[in-house]
Structure 1
Amino acid sequence: MIGALLVAVFILSLIINRIFDEIKFLKLREELGLRGPPTDLFIGNCRYFYKIAIERGIEASPYICAELVHKFGSTFGSYIGREFEIVTTDPAIIKEVFISQFRNFVDRRRLSINRTYPTLDGLLQVGHKGTYGVGWKEIRSVISVIFTSASMKKMHLMFHDQIDNLIDVLRNKCRINNGKMDIYGEYQAMTMDMIARCALGQNISCIKDRNNDYYSCARTFFANLYFEKSLIFRLAIFIPIFRHLRQFTNFGRAEKIIINKLSASIRERERDRADGIIRKLPDVIDLILAENEKRVENGKIPLHHDVVVSNAWALFIAGYETTSSALAYASYLLAKHPEVQATLHEEIHSTFGDADTIDYERVMRLPNSFQHAVFCETLRFYPPVTSLTGRTCIKETIIGGKIRVPVGVGVVAPVHAVMWSEENFVRPREFIPERFLNDKRASAWSATYLPFGIGPRNCVGARFAEMEFKTVLAAVIRCFVIELDLDHIELHTVMGNVLQSPKGNQLFVRLVERRTGAEEEWESLGADSGIDDCEI
C-alpha cells in the first residue's frame, strides 16, 4: 500500500514538474520581448493553426505566416509543440542570422520527424556534428563536387533520351481528351527518370511505365508527408521520441523501400569500384564514393554507409519533387499568362529552332534571358521548398540589436511571407517575369529572394535544379502551347513537411501541339498554289 502511494506521489510530482516547466517555456516569448499567436500548454500554437485549417481549408496554409506578420510585426515568436521559433521577415535580421552570424546558426531548424534515419545525416538536416562524427561542412564539401559545371555538363548529356520520351508521351496524350492532362504527374515521372539516371545510373523510364517502385513509392511518400495525414507525425511534434516510428507511417514505409534499393545499389557500386570498374559517365553515387575514397587517402575517416545512403536519398528526393513541382507551377502560370508564354516561345524558338539539341551551354546562358526571368519568377510566386530556410541557435547571441536568442531556439525566414511582401516586390501577387530581367536580387545572398535559401547552407543543388527546369521547359514550350483547363482555372497549394505542393497531388492543364516551321511553310505553299490537302 505504501509502495503504491509512493509511486503515485512520484508520478504526480513528475506531472506537476512537467506542467511548471511548460509554463516557464511558454513565458520565453514574452521574456524575449516578442509577440505571437495564442498558446496552449503542451501544444503551443498548434490549436491556433489547426483552427485556421478547419475554418479556411488546408490550402490556406501558405498564407498563414504572411497574415501573422501583418498582425504581430516582422519578427514574432511561434511555438510548434516543444520547439520555439523566432519568425522574421526583416531583411537585416535574415542576413545577420544566415550570413554574418552564421557560425551561431549552423544547424537547420529542428523538425522532430526529420531527426532520425534516413534524414538525420543527410545534408538537408545534418547538424554541425553528425551522428557518425561528420557534420554538415564535411558532407557539403563532398556533395559540392557533384554540382560543378564540368559534372553538370556530363549529367546534362543523360537528359536527352528522357526529354525525347517525355515529348513522345505528351504528343500522344495531347491528342486525346482534348489535350487535358495532369501535367504534374508527367513532370514527376520525368524528373524521376532524370534523377534515377543521374543519381543511380539507372534507366527506369517512368514516363512510359508508371509501374515502378521508385516512382510509385516516391509519389506515396510525398502524398502522405503532411501533418494532418499522419498520427505519428503529429505525435512526434509534441513527444519527440515518436519520431523513431517514422518507418511505420505511410510515407515511412514507402521511403524504406527506396532506401533499401539505394543501399543495395551503393553496396554494389562499392564492390565494382574495388574491382576497378569505373563508369565513363559517373552518376551521383560514383561521385560521392570517389570523394569518400579521397577522404581515406587524406587520412580522414570514411563516410559511414548510412551517411552515404542518407545523402543519396536527400539528393534523390530533392531532385525529384522540387523540380517537378516548379515545372508544374510554371506550366500553370504560362497557361494563365499566354502573353508571357508567347514571349518565352519566341526566345526558345530563336535559340534552338524546331529541332536543335537543347544543349547545356545555350540553356544555361547569361542570366538576363527571358527564360531565366520566368524561372526566377515562378520560384518566387510558387516556391516548392518552404521550411528549410530556418536555423537553430548553437551559441547564445543577440540579433536585431536587441533580441536574445538562447541555444536551441530556431530562427525562421518564412519563404512565402518574404517573397510575397509588398515591401520587397512591387505587386507581389502578380506574375511578372520582367522584374528579374537584369535584376541581381535572385542570388544566393539575397535576403528577399529565398527559394533556394540563403548563405553558406543554401541549396547545394540549385544550379542542377535550374538546368533541369530550363531544359525540360524549353523542350515542352518548343513543342506545345499550354492552356488552362476550364475545370481547373484556379490553383490551390498546400504545405507539407518542408514542401509546397498542388492540392490533391494533381495539376491539370491542356496541351495543344505546335506546328513546326516546315509544316506551316508547307501548309502555306499548298494554300498559295491552290493544291488540295489530299493532293499534297
Structure 2
Amino acid sequence: MTRNFNYWSQKGVKGPSPSPMFGNILSYFITPRPHLNMQWQKLYGKIYGVYNGNKPVLMVAEPELIKQICVKDFHIFSDRNTNRRIHPILSKHLVVETGDDWKRIRSIVTPTFSSSKMKKMYPMIRQCLDDFIVELDVYAKDKGDVNVKIMYGNYTMDVISRCAFATKTNSHKDPNDPFIINAQKVFAPKVSRALCFMLLPTFVLKAFNMRGIAEESANEFFFNITRHVMKTRSNSQKKYNDFIELLMNAQKSSTNNNTKDVNHYDENDSSEAHHVNEGEEEKQVENKILSSVDKYITEEEILAQSWVFFVAGYETTATTLTFASYELALNQDSQQRLYEEEEKQAENKILSSVDKYITEEEILAQSWVFFVAGYETTATTLTFASYELALNQDSQQRLYEEVMTAVDSKGEIDYDILARLPYLDAVISETLRLHSPAIILIRQASEDYKLGDTGITLKKGQQLEIPIYAVHHNEEFYEKPNDFIPNRFLPENRHNIKPYSYIPFGAGPRNCIGMRFALMEAKLALAQVIKRYRFFRSPNTDVPLLLNKSTILHSPKRINYPFGAGPRNCIGMRFGLMEAKLALAQVIRRYRFFQTPNTDVPLQLNVSLAIRTPKRVIIGIEKRL
C-alpha cells in the first residue's frame, strides 16, 4: 500500500506526502486540481513529484523543459499512459493510441481539420447557433439571469452531434433525447467506477469486464449510430461534409493509391494566438514523424476517433464560451472593443469562395473521441468567456464593437474574417489561459531520459505530467496572472509571451488536432451572442465561481476547458477554436453580458483531475438595441 512512496525523496525531489494506497489521488477530489497544482508549485517549485496510487509521477511546469519534452525529444515522449488500453475500440482513438498506429491515424485525421474542411462544416455550426440564439432570446427579453454553462453545453452538444455523428439534436427543447441521455452517462461516470479504473491493475479490471470509466451501454449507443451512418452512406452519392464522411473518404482512398500529402497548416494560424509556440522547428518535427507511415485505418479506429471527437469537443468549447462571456460581463471595455472590431471588419470583408486508408473500426474510434474531446471543453470555454465578459464590461464593449465591424449586410460573419478578428481571438485566448479546460498533459518516457540539467532521470515507462493551469498562472510568465487581460494576446503584444508558457492545445506533433474546429465553434457562438446581447453580473452570479471537482476537466458548476504541447497536442484544436469564436462573435453582436448580484466572483469550480469546469456561471444578459 505504500510501495514506492520513498521514490522521490530518495532522488531529492520534493513533493506532497502520499496517503496509503491512494498516493495523492484523493487530494484531487477534495480541492479542484488546478488550484492544487498551483499550491504545490508554490510549495515545491516548477518540478516536483507526486504519486498516482503507488506510481511515481513527475510534474514539470518549466516552459523550456516542456518544449524539450513535447518537441525536441518527442521521439522519446510520443506516447501518453499506455497502461489502460483495455477497450477493443476505444483503445484505438488518437488520445490513447501509441507508436506507429498513432502516427498513421494522426496523418489521416489531420487533413480533416484543414481550413477547407472547416469551411464546409461552418454552415452546419451556424444552423446549430440559430437554435441557440432563439433560446437565448427568451432570457434576454427580461434581462434575466441565465446559467450560460447549461446554454453553451446545449449548443456544443448540437454542434458535435451534427458534425461527428450526422445526428440533428435540439438540446434546448428536448433534453431527454437518447443521444443526450447517453452523452450524460459518458460525461458523468460514477466516482467509485473512476477510482477503480485509476487504482486497480489492468488484470483486475479485465476480470470484472471494466473496459472504461463510462458505462459500456453508452459507448455502444454511439458506436451503433456511427455504424448505421457508415452503412447508409456506403451506397449514397450525397455529400455531407461532416467528420464521418471525411474519415470514410480516407478509408476509400486506399483503393485509389493516392499518395498525395496534405499540408494541414492553416493560412489563418498566424493571426491567432495559438500560433505563438509554432516555429519552424515544431513543424519540421511533426512533418518528419508523419511523412513516412502506412496510411490505412480500421473500422474500430474510425469508431474510436468519432467517439473522442465528440467527448473532447463538447465540454471544452462550451466551457471556453462560458468563461469568455463571464469575463466580458466583468470587463465592459473589452466587450465594447470586441464589438467595435466586428463592426470595422465588415468594410474589409474578404470573399472566399493522400494515400490514406482507414478501417471501419478506426472510424468508430475517431468519431467517439471527437465527441468526447469536443463537447464539454468547448462549452466550458464559452461559459468562462461569458463570465469574464460579464465582469469586465469594458472588454465586452470593445469585443462588441469589433464584432459589429465584421458583420455583412445579412448579419453574417465570413469564415476567414472570423478567424482574423484580433480582439475576438484575444478574448478566447485569454479565456483559455485564465480558465484552460484541460488541466494536465501526460507523457510517458520510451527510454531512460535525463531531464535537462535538473539531475533527474526518468526511467523507461515512467510518466510525467505538465500542469497547464499552473503554468498559465505563474507570475514569472504573466503579469497579474489571475486578471482577465485580453490585450496580452493582441498581435502587437504576443512577442511578450514566453514560448510554451501558453499551451491550452498542447504543442508539437501530439497537439490538439481539433483546434481549428474548436476555435471556429467558440468564436462563431460568442460573436453571434455578443452582437445581440449584453452580459452583466446579476445578483445570482457566483464571484468567485464554484468549480466542479473533476479529474480531467476544469469547469464551473454554473455561471448565473488550451490543448497540450508538441506533436501530440490536441488534434481538434482548430475545430474547437472555430466553434468557440463563431459562437462568441455572434453572441457579442446581439447581446451584452453584465455582472449581477448573483454572479459568483470568484467562480466556484468543479473538482476534476484533468479538465477545469465551473459549477455554475450566472450572469445578466440583455439584448442590444
Cα distance in 1, alignment partners of residues 482 and 23 from structure 2:
31
Q: Number of matched residues?
A: 468
Corresponding residue for residue 530 of structure 1:
none
1:288 to 220, 227, 247: 247
SS at match of 1:281: coil
Counterpart contact for 1:442–1:449, Cα < 8 Å? no
Between the aligned partners of 1:448 and 1:151, the Cα distance in structure 2 is 30
Kept after mapping to 2: 8 A contact 1:335/1:484: yes
Partner of 1:351: 406
- Offset of 1:211 from its aligned partner? 2.2
1:136-535 equivalent positions in 2, closer than 5 A: 136-175=102-141, 178-222=143-187, 224-225=188-189, 229-241=190-202, 243-244=205-206, 252-253=214-215, 256-257=217-218, 259-275=219-235, 277-295=236-254, 298=257, 302-305=297-300, 306-352=361-407, 355-365=410-420, 369-387=422-440, 389-401=441-453, 402-438=455-491, 439-440=493-494, 446-490=499-543, 491-503=545-557, 505-515=615-625
Q: CA deviation at 1:246?
A: 8.1
Task: Measure, in 2, the Cα distance between the counterparts of 1:361 and 1:98.
Answer: 30
Match of 1:26 in 2: 5
Deviations 1:164-215 (A, max 9, x none): 2111111123335x52122111111111111122112222222332221222
Stretch moving more, 61-70 or 147-156:
61-70
Alpha-carbon distance in structure 2 between the residues aligned to 1:399 and 1:350: 49
Deviation of 1:380 after TM superposition, in Å, equals 0.4
CA contact (8 A) 2:399 2:424 kept: yes
CA contact (8 A) 2:140 2:533 kept: no
Q: CA deviation at 1:495?
A: 4.6
Deviations 1:61-101 (A, max 9, x none): 32111111111121111111133211011111111111111
Q: Is this contact kept in 2: 1:32–1:404, CA < 8 A?
A: no
Deviations 1:212-267 (A, max 9, x none): 12223323432x24xxx521211222213355568699x723x633x333322332
Aligned equivalents of 2:205 and 2:620: distance in 1?
41
Three-state SS of the structure 1 residue aligned to 2:91 is coil
Structure 1 pair 350–390 and aligned structure 2 pair: CA distance change class (3 A):
same
Letter of the structure 1 residue corresponding to residue 56 of structure 2: F
Q: Distance in 1 between matches of 2:83 and 2:434?
A: 25
* Cα distance in 2, alignment partners of residues 500 and 110 from structure 1: 24
* SS of equivalent to 2:416: helix
Q: Which amino acid aligns with 2:477?
A: N
| SS of aligned partner of 2:460 | coil
Q: What residue identity is the alignment partner of 2:553? A: L
Is residue 65–residue 451 contact of structure 2 (8 Å, CA) maintained in 1?
yes
Q: Given the two structures, how large is their TM-score scaled by the length of structure 2?
A: 0.70
The whole-number CA distance in structure 2 between the counterparts of 1:300 and 1:337 is 48
Could you tell me which amino acid in structure 2 is paired with residue 507 of structure 1? Answer: V
Does the 8 A contact of 1:37 with 1:78 survive in 2? yes
Equivalent residue number for residue 90 of structure 1: 62
User: In structure 1, how many angstroms separate the alpha carbons of the residues matched to 2:38 and 2:538?
Assistant: 29
More moved, 162-171 vs 262-271? 262-271
1:376 and 1:442 in contact (8 A); partners too: no
**Residues 492 and 396 (structure 1 numbering): CA distance in 2 closer, same or farther, change over 3 Å?**
same
Q: 2:16, 2:24 within 8 Å by CA — same for their partners in 1?
A: yes
For 1:397, give the aligned amino acid. Answer: Y
Answer 1 or 2: which has greater strand percent.
2
CA RMSD of aligned residues (A): 2.6
For the residue of structure 2 that corresponds to 1:395, the secondary structure is coil
For the residue of structure 2 that corresponds to 1:264, the secondary structure is helix
2:35 to 63, 72, 84: 63
Q: 1:126 matched to which residue of 2? A: 97
Distance 1:265 1:217, change over 3 A: closer
Aligned amino acid, residue 221 of structure 1? V
Answer yes or no: is the 8 Å Cα contact 1:123–1:314 preserved in 2: yes
Could you tell me how far 1:448 is from its partner in structure 2?
Answer: 0.3
Q: Which runs of 5 or more residues in structure 1 are unaligned?
A: 1-18, 130-134, 516-536
- Counterpart amino acid of residue 619 in structure 2: V
Change (3 A) 1:171 1:344: same
- Does the 8 Å contact 1:108/1:127 carry over to 2? yes
1-side partners of 2:21 and 2:495: how far apart?
Answer: 40
Q: Tell me the alpha carbon deviations over residues 89-117 of structure 1, each in whole angstroms, 9 at most, x when there is no partner.
A: 111111111111110011114585x7545
Does the aligned pair in 2 maintain the 1:326–1:384 contact within 8 Å?
yes
2:209 and 2:535 map into 1 onto residues whose CA distance is 39
Change beyond 3 A, Cα 1:464–1:495: farther
| One-letter amino acid of the counterpart of residue 219, structure 1 | Q
Deviations 1:444-490 (A, max 9, x none): x9410011111110100111111111100000000000112212231
For residues 307 and 472 of structure 1, do their structure 2 counterparts lie closer, same or farther at Cα, with a shift above 3 Å needed? same
Q: Deviations over 1:349-398 (max 9, x none)?
A: 122168521221211126xx1111001000001111113x1201111111
In 2, the alpha carbon distance for the partners of 1:343 and 1:243 equals 53
Match of 1:35 among 1, 7, 14: 14
Contact 1:392/1:408, CA 8 A, preserved across alignment: yes
Q: Which amino acid in 1 is paired with 2:382?
A: L
Identity %: 28
Aligned-partner residue type, residue 221 of structure 2:
K
Q: Tell me how far apart the structure 2 counterparts of residues 385 and 441 of structure 1 sit (CA, whole Å).
A: 24
Q: Structure 1's 270 and 203: CA in aligned 2 closer, same or farther, altered over 3 A?
A: closer
Structure-1 residue corresponding to 2:77? 105
- Residue equivalent to 1:6: none
3-state SS of 1:478 partner: strand
User: Matched residues in 1 for 2:109 and 2:44: separation?
Assistant: 39
Hey, what's the Cα distance between the residues in 2 that align with 1:413 and 1:441? 23
SS in structure 2 at match of 1:193: helix
Q: 1:115 to 1:34 in 2, by over 3 A?
A: farther
Q: 1:271 to 1:46 in 2, by over 3 A?
A: closer
- Point out the more displaced range, 70-79 or 298-307: 298-307
Q: Which runs of no fewer than 5 residues in structure 2 stay unpaired?
A: 258-293, 301-360, 559-614
Give the Cα separation in 2 of the matches to 1:45 and 1:360. Answer: 45
Distance verdict in 2 for CA 1:264–1:218, change over 3 Å: closer
Aligned-pair CA distance for 1:510:
2.0
The 2-side partners of 1:279 and 1:494 are apart by 43
**Structure-2 separation of matches of 1:455 and 1:429:** 27
User: What is the letter of the counterpart of residue 291 of structure 1?
Assistant: A
| Separation in structure 1 between the aligned mates of residue 18 and residue 169 of structure 2, nearest angstrom | 49
Q: Against the structure 1 CA distance between its residues 454 and 494, is the aligned structure 2 distance closer, same or farther, given a 3 Å change threshold?
A: farther
Counterparts of 2:442 and 2:397, CA distance in 1: 38
Determine if contact 1:89/1:414 at 8 Å carries over to the other structure.
yes
Question: Does 399-408 or 98-107 show the bigger shift?
Answer: 399-408
Alpha-carbon deviation of 1:300? 5.9
User: Separation in 1 of the partners of 2:255 and 2:297?
Assistant: 6
What secondary structure is seen at the aligned counterpart in 2 of 1:34?
coil
